[in-house]
Amino acid sequence: MSEDNKPIKIAFFDAQDYDIKAFEAANESYNYEIKFFETKLTADTVKLAKKCDAVCVFVNDMIDKDIIDALVKRKVKLIALRCAGYNNVDLAYANGKITVVRVPAYSPYAVAEHAMALLLTSIRRIHKAYIRTRDFNFNLNGLTGFDLHGKTVGVIGTGKIGRIFTDICKGFGMNVLAYDKFPAADSGLHYVSLDEIWEQADIISLRCPLTDETKHLINTPTIAKMKKGIVIINTSRGALINSKALLEGLKSRKIGAACLDVYEEEADVFYHDYSGHIIDDDILARLISFPNVIVTSHQAFLTREALGNIAATTLDNVRTVLSGEKCNNEVSYQG
């Protein structure tokens, strides 16, 4: 219940069927009044949050100064991110005006396993074989891959997901090099510099957050330092990679393959069906056309276990904040 003993009201934006099912199930323990909206939270749709205590948003809802002012004007007290990342929120401007919470961990196994699934699909040409055999074409030409055993993988970002991914890689007999600005204590990981990863890795997996420091971490100069045929996996945030540089790296054959669950300009494309439309994004259209590029639509989190954890944590974050308790999942501005 809110302070006036009325049911807590939540405006839920960018709602998909799987979101609604998970949150309705979790809400049986809370009895909040949740209004699900298919639209994203924008300057035009923020009016839907009127008389709500909180808004629940996802990775592609851009919470800028104007949105924050509009929410505060409508007396919304809380922005509840149902994801781990928060680069889409202007935290500096939100500071002191409205509380922001997130879901720091929902199922690190889901994302780590998806990253490995992308890698295996790519290097063993499983996606190509699937298409062929559906047409009863059982020819093996062009499907030659390579062993993961003995290869060197560079993992950039060693939070929970990154460490689980390194464990999976070790299970395949791979050599793991790790980089993190804040190395995990007692992890047993072999930490090296970024330059060492660029120069030594056969495969690079991005698991770091998107910040001003990490934006376009992979770019033309860093790609130039990598081995010819490098495989790049990104299941973190799209803007970690400069898309134009990635495209050029693929065209020049410097990059052997790209496995992408995220994309720099995904906000207006991912989570929607454009199968009957022409995509305006020329870079994305070109990337998808390459036989050595796999793109999934930011679905690494999409398991039953993860959705259940996201819903439960989000709703408990709402309860904690609106009851005046300290919430460990609050995102504070670090100036």
Instruction: Supply 132's token pair.
Output: 């062929």
Annotated active-site residue in 190, 298, 319, 330:
298
Q: Is 298 a catalytic residue?
A: yes
pLDDT of residue 4: 59
Q: Are 58 and 39 in contact (CB under 8 A)?
A: no
From the candidate CATH numbers 1.10.150.120, 3.40.50.720, 3.40.50.170, 3.50.30.30, the one assigned to the domain spanning 9-106+303-322: 3.40.50.720
The answer to whether domain 9-106+303-322 and domain 108-295 are alike in fold is yes
Exactly one of 102, 114, 264, 266 is catalytic; name it: 266
Residue 233: pLDDT above 60? Answer: yes
Residue 203 — left, alpha, or beta (φ > 0 → left; ψ -120 to 50 → alpha)?
Answer: beta
Q: At what angle do helices 108-123 and 126-134 cross, to 10 degrees?
A: 70
Catalytic residue of the set 102, 163, 237, 264: 237
Question: Please, which pLDDT band fits residue 335 given cuts at 50, 70 and 90?
Answer: low
pLDDT in tens, 67-114: 999 999 999 999 999 998 898 999 999 999 999 999 988 888 999 999
Where are the chain's structural domains? 9-106+303-322, 108-295
Range of lowest pLDDT (57-61, 151-155, 254-258, 303-307): 57-61
pLDDT(265) > 70: yes
Based on the residue annotation, tell me whether 134 is a catalytic residue of this protein: no
Number of H helices, E strands in the chain: 11, 11
pTM metric for this prediction:
0.89
Considering the chain, what is the average pLDDT of its residues? 95
What are 195-230's pLDDT values in tens digits? 999 999 999 999 999 999 999 999 999 999 999 999
What CA–CA distance (Å, rounded) separates 150 from 125? Answer: 19
Q: What is the pLDDT of residue 272?
A: 86
What is the pLDDT, as a whole number, of residue 1? 53
Please tell me the predicted confidence (pLDDT) of residue 59.
Answer: 87
Can you read off the two tokens belonging to residue 67? 């949105």
- Give the fold, CATH level 3, of 108-295: Rossmann fold (3.40.50)
- End-to-end, the C-alpha distance of the chain in Å comes to 33
* Residue 127 is a catalytic residue: no
